[in-house]
């Protein structure tokens, strides 16, 4: 086995373990608070900080890596300037969202009671500052990755998830549900500190701020904006889940959150297994212009996803209730909570293949330097089809309408991506 494949395998394993600990956090919350107003508040408070982390951090880091590989200017200066750009963007966005805490929360969570809103607000104010550290951590991971330090960035995510849930559990007796706000903040500090020390120890680049809009920084923003919109459109699924579920009875928001995270775990793990093998080959063959091999990789990846996720979907759908009971039913997560979550979980299970396949196919679009079309398809699916389905089915299907919206819109997005790729590149 080549050195690169060993590295890829190790990173994949660490990422899977990190995802498992992220899911463990949801299981622990379910054990402590079940499908209660408190569990709803924890899920609601984390939505916006997580949105900033994944969308802003992911978009700017992807753009940074793209420019880093192509720049002809001094890389050390580019790293300093991009660090300054990412820092200012993270601080500005986070500061605005903290200043306008009440308008922001009431815009998305208008149907909460006064007591629920007070808890969400306290948790939000604990969690929101962590967005700055998380965005910077994502960027530092990018710097380490482009210099071959893959394990450090993967270990940092694992440290964050372990720290988040570990600190929250340790502090629960003293701080109650607010321990999850403290856990989010301190977990981010652990992650950021670990990555910063890794950069310092590696002696790669200085992070001394450098101001001024260079050509490289301008290119970074040109590349980042469509990626930001693409990432935002996918994260809008979660945001819409929170907004709509707040219109139902107490406990629905947390039930939807547990169900989506539960079906998202096998989907993400199995997709990682496929892309870990295929994506490095895709990048190489795209650079060589080998379209025949690219077509084979595309078809092979789709077949792998079908082979892996079709059985997982069948098991999740037909054995939903015993699976939920096995994983969640203890403590405050009662049989009533299991019954609430089961129909939502079943429908979310149907979307596993389509969500994984959409992410996989989009990588081929990015390899073809086409980031606009996937964004357009995502916006149509998430903000158009998804919302329309939810509101059309709410009265008849209750909370399950949220899951149906995800399933139907993800399937529609898949069809659009496949047809366009077939027509454009004969994939």
Clarify whether residues 10 and 120 are in a common domain. Answer: yes
Whether the Cβ atoms of residue 78 and residue 67 lie closer than 8 Å to each other: yes
Rounded (10°) CA dihedral 265, 268, 272, 273: 60
When pLDDT is averaged across residues 107-118 and rounded to a whole number, the result is 78
Q: Are residues 133 and 255 in the same domain?
A: no
User: What pLDDT, on a 0 to 100 scale, did the predictor assign at position 4?
Assistant: 53
Q: Tell me, yes or no, whether 234 lies in a domain.
A: no
Range of the domain at 157: 1-225
Is 37 part of any domain? yes
Count Cβ atoms below 10 Å from residue 373 Cβ, excluding itself.
Answer: 18
Backbone angles phi, psi at 156, to 5 degrees: -65, -40
How confident is the model over 273-277, as a mean pLDDT?
Answer: 64
Residue 145 has pLDDT above 70, yes or no: yes
- Rounded to an integer, the average pLDDT of 274-287 is 66
Using one digit for the tens of pLDDT, what is the confidence trace for 250-274?
A: 899 999 999 999 998 888 877 776 7
Please, which residues have CB within 8 angstroms of residue 411's CB and are 6 or more apart in sequence? 351, 354
pLDDT beyond 80 at 15: no
Question: In this model, does residue 148 exceed pLDDT 90?
Answer: no
- Locate 53 and state its tokens: 């982390």
- Mean of the per-residue pLDDT values for the chain? 88
Looking at the structure of the chain, the number of domains it has is 2
User: What percentage of residues in the chain have a pLDDT greater than 90?
Assistant: 53
Residue 350 included in any domain: yes
Note whether 150 and 256 are same-domain residues. Answer: no
Single residue among 191, 225, 259 that ends a domain in this structure: 225
Place 377 in a pLDDT band, splitting at 50, 70 and 90.
Answer: very high
Cα(362)–Cα(424) distance, integer angstroms: 14
How confident is the model at residue 227, as a pLDDT?
Answer: 74
DSSP string, 67-123: HHHH--S-HHHHHHHHHHHHHHHHHHHHHHHHHTHHHHHHHH-TT--HHHHHHHHHH
Tens digit of each residue's pLDDT (9 = 90 or more) over 184-231: 999 999 999 999 999 988 888 888 888 888 888 888 888 888 777 776
124 and 185 within one domain: yes
d(C-alpha 268, C-alpha 261), whole Å? 10
**DSSP annotation string for 59-78:** HHHHHHHHHHHH--S-HHHH
Question: Does 332 share its domain with 376?
Answer: yes
Look at residue 39 and tell me if it is in a domain.
yes
Give the angle subtended at the CA of 22 by the CAs of 94 and 130, to the nearest 5°.
20
Per-residue confidence at 5, pLDDT binned at 50, 70, 90?
A: low
What phi and psi, each to the nearest 5 degrees, are found at residue 369?
60, 30
Is residue 7's pLDDT more than 80?
A: no
CB 408 within 8 A of CB 396: no
Within 10 angstroms of residue 367's Cβ, the number of other Cβ atoms is 16
Burial label, 383 (beta-carbon count in 10 A; 0-12, 13-18, 19+): middle
Give domain status of residue 236, yes or no: no
Which is higher by pLDDT, 349 or 305? Answer: 349
Regarding whether 218 and 254 lie in a shared domain, the answer is no
Whether 12 has a pLDDT exceeding 60, the answer reads: yes
pLDDT tens track for 220-252: 888 888 777 776 777 888 889 988 998 888 899
Q: What SS3 state is found at 219?
A: helix
Look up residue 410 and give its two tokens. Answer: 């993800």
Here the tokens at position 40 are 């709803």
Residue after which a domain boundary falls, among 190, 225, 260: 225
204: phi then psi, degrees, rounded to nearest 5: -85, -65
Shared-domain flag, residues 416 and 350: yes
Q: Which of 169, 193, 225 is the last residue of a domain?
A: 225
Is the domain of 185 the same as that of 89? Answer: yes
Same domain, 151 and 54: yes
Residues 180 and 314 in one domain: no
CA distance 3 to 147: 15
Sorting pLDDT into bands at 50, 70 and 90, what band is 39? very high
Query: Are both 22 and 132 inside the same structural domain?
Result: yes
**3 state DSSP class of 100:** coil
Question: How many other CB atoms are found less than 10 A from the CB of residue 72?
Answer: 7
* 238 found inside a domain: no
Residue 145, classed as helix, strand or coil, is: helix
Provide the CA 4 distance to its chain's centre, in angstroms: 26
| Inside any domain, residue 233 | no
Question: Ramachandran region of residue 212, left (φ > 0), alpha (ψ -120 to 50) or beta?
Answer: left
Query: Greater confidence, 1 or 226?
Result: 226
- Chain centre to alpha carbon of residue 331: 28
What was the pLDDT predicted at 71?
A: 79
User: In whole angstroms, what separates CA 242 from the centre of its chain?
Assistant: 15
pLDDT the model gives residue 63: 84
Please check whether residue 414 lies inside any domain of the structure: yes
Domain co-membership, 304 together with 357: yes
Better-scored residue on pLDDT, 56 or 227: 56
- CA–CA distance, 46 with 238 (Å, rounded to integer): 11
Q: How large a percentage of the chain has pLDDT more than 70? A: 93
3-state secondary structure of 229: helix
């Amino acid at each position: 086995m080549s050195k690169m494949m060993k590295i890829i395998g190790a990173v994949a394993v660490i990422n899977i373990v990190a995802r498992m600990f992220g899911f463990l956090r949801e299981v622990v919350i379910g054990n402590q608070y079940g499908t209660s107003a408190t569990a709803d508040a924890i899920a609601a408070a984390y939505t916006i900080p997580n949105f900033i982390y994944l969308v802003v951090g992911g978009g700017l880091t992807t753009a940074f890596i793209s420019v880093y590989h192509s720049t002809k200017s001094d890389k050390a200066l580019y790293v300093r300037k991009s660090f300054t750009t990412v820092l200012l963007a993270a601080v500005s966005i986070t500061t605005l969202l903290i200043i306008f805490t009440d308008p922001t929360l009431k815009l998305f969570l208008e149907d909460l009671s006064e007591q629920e809103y007070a808890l969400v607000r306290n948790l939000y104010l604990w969690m929101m500052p962590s967005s700055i550290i998380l965005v910077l951590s994502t960027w530092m991971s990018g710097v380490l990755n482009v210099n071959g330090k893959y394990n450090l960035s993967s270990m940092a995510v694992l440290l964050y998830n372990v720290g988040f849930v570990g600190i929250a559990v340790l502090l629960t007796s003293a701080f109650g549900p607010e321990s999850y706000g403290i856990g989010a903040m301190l977990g981010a500090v652990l992650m950021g500190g670990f990555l910063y020390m890794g950069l310092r120890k590696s002696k790669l680049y200085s992070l001394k701020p450098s101001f001024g809009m260079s050509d490289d920084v301008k290119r970074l923003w040109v590349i980042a904006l469509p990626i930001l919109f693409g990432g935002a459109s996918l994260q809008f699924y979660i945001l819409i889940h929170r907004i709509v579920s707040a219109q139902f009875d107490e406990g629905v928001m947390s039930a939807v959150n547990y169900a989506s995270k539960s079906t998202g775990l096998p989907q993400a793990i199995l997709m990682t297994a496929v892309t870990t093998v295929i994506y490095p080959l895709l990048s190489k063959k795209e650079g060589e212009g080998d379209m025949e091999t690219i077509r084979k990789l595309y078809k092979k990846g789709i077949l792998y996803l079908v082979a892996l996720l079709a059985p997982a979907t069948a098991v999740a759908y037909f054995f939903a209730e015993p699976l939920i009971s096995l994983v969640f039913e203890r403590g405050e997560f009662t049989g009533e909570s299991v019954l609430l979550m089961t129909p939502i979980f079943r429908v979310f299970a149907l979307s596993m293949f389509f969500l994984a396949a959409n992410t996989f196919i989009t990588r081929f679009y990015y390899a073809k330097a086409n980031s606009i079309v996937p964004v357009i398809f995502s916006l149509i699916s998430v903000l158009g089809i998804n919302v329309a389905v939810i509101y059309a089915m709410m009265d008849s299907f209750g909370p399950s309408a949220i899951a149906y919206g995800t399933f139907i819109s993800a399937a529609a997005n898949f069809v659009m991506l496949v047809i366009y790729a077939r027509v454009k590149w004969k994939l």
